A = this chain, B = another copy of it.
Amino acid sequence: MIERIGILGGGQLAQMLAQAAVSFGMGVVVFEREADSPASRLTPHSVVGAWDDVAALERFASLAQLVTLENEFVDAGVLARLESWGLPVFPSSHTLGLIQDKLVQKRRLQQVGLPVAPFRAVDSPAEVRAAAAAHDWPLLLKARRDGYDGRGNATLHGPDTLAAAWERLGGHAGRQLYVEAFVHFEAELALMVARARSGETRCYPVVATEQRNHICHRVLAPALIDPSLACSAAELARSAVEAVGGVGIFGVELFLTQTGILINELAPRPHNSGHYTIEACATSQFENHLRAVLGLPLGSTAMRAPAAVMVNLLGSRSGPFSAGDQPPYSAALSVPGAHLHLYGKRQLRPGRKLGHVTALGATLAEAAAIAEQAAALVDM
């Protein structure tokens, strides 16, 4: 029986995963590149090292009976090495290999007939211009790996912006890039899919995500869309997770367009758009991830209230978390119905995700008012 789970990565997703593991009486061991990560404060067992530090990885492996991850930036080769040592690893190196390179991911989704925006690999600015001839401007220029929250993406409105974007994304230094046709979407949707080792899947409700400066600002659950569209979205998301042989929880980002739904991308882990499930669903995304990778029955993904809204708490400045006596979220705790989650980050940076607030309500408007009111009272 598993008593300790290894987590690759030590940020807030690992933190909330470790928090969920507590209810199963399980401990965790955390592998992170830097010391004092949020999740490392929740266990006597953490290992600090680079992903390719084999001695550190061996130490980590010796402390874990099963391995999972909280981000897709660890190389699939690291997962393959852990698998070669006989450890169960979920999601597997095979799945991660099909996801972490976004071009490979897009190809896989297209290969199984799932709808994605037109895309192509580009090795030079000239190839971007060739893509524009086929798909027209604007185009999205993207790094194939390691992008998040808009980092690693550039919107090209015309040929004038190409040279600067190519350089900013590292194309001149050999970083692998690709382009996608710009999607004129009506809304951005997302949903979480849990897939068990048995192949059983459960979809969470389809939610609407709202971004500001390419960072998720808030999530509205459920999305106010036609039920048949929600059904299609869930079917697409489920098929996408099956197409990569996924085991665990997956965040699936979608575009709603005038002509239907496109899959934007998959995340092979708990996802910001699923944080609302902690309070709003019968089983949180973190608990269902654990159930899935542990080979346990999945839990109900039904909502416990008609509506829920999650608002991210982003850093507004740089500096230490708080110098004062009172934490900077104290006033927000007075808002009835606001559920606060802080990630224990010691340093603020503009735009850094420092926590989130979730509120439930009879309507999205009611939940949004509570969550936004609390978020506005947090000063950090």
Which A residues form the contact surface with B (CB < 8 A)?
Answer: 1-2, 15-16, 18-19, 22-27, 38, 40-44, 46, 282, 291, 295-297, 299-300, 304, 321-327, 330, 333-334, 336-337, 340-345, 355, 360
Contact = CB atoms under 8 A, between A and B. Distances in A.
A313 to B, nearest CB: 11
B27 A23 contact: no
A295 B18 CA distance: 26
A40 B337 CA distance: 31
Given A19-B23, A330-B296, A333-B299, A1 B44 contact: no
A262 to B, nearest CB: 33
Contact of A22 (B42, B282, B321): B42
B23 A327 contact: no
Given A296-B333, A333-B291, A325 B42 contact: no
A249 to B, nearest CB: 16
Contacts of A336: 282, 299-300
Nearest to A19: B22
A16 B24 CA distance: 12
A209 to B, nearest CB: 22
Contacts of A345: 25
Interface of A, helix, strand, loop or mixed by DSSP: loop
A25 B348 CA distance: 14
> Which of A22, A46, A355 counts the most chain B CB atoms within 10 A?
A22
A25 B325 contact: no
18 contacts: A1-B323, A1-B325, A16-B22, A19-B19, A22-B344, A24-B327, A25-B38, A26-B344, A27-B41, A27-B344, A40-B44, A41-B44, A44-B46, A291-B333, A295-B326, A299-B336, A300-B336, A304-B304
Contacts of A295: 326
A323 B323 CA distance: 49
A341 to B, nearest CB: 5
Contacts of A333: 291, 296-297, 299
A1 B41 contact: no
A24 B291 contact: no
Contacts of A291: 333
Nearest to A331: B297
B340 A23 contact: yes
A152 to B, nearest CB: 27
B24 A342 contact: yes
Contacts of A27: 41-42, 344
A289 to B, nearest CB: 14
A258 to B, nearest CB: 38
A22 B23 CA distance: 13
Contacts of A282: 336-337
Contacts of A324: 1
Contacts of A16: 22
A18 B25 contact: no
Closest 5 A/B residue pairs (Cβ): A25-B344, A25-B342, A27-B41, A297-B334, A19-B22
A41 to B, nearest CB: 4
Contact of A44 (B19, B43, B340, B343): B43
Given A282-B337, A291-B333, A22 B26 contact: no
A6 to B, nearest CB: 14
Contacts of A325: 1
Contacts of A355: 25
B337 A23 contact: no
Contacts of A23: 19, 340-342
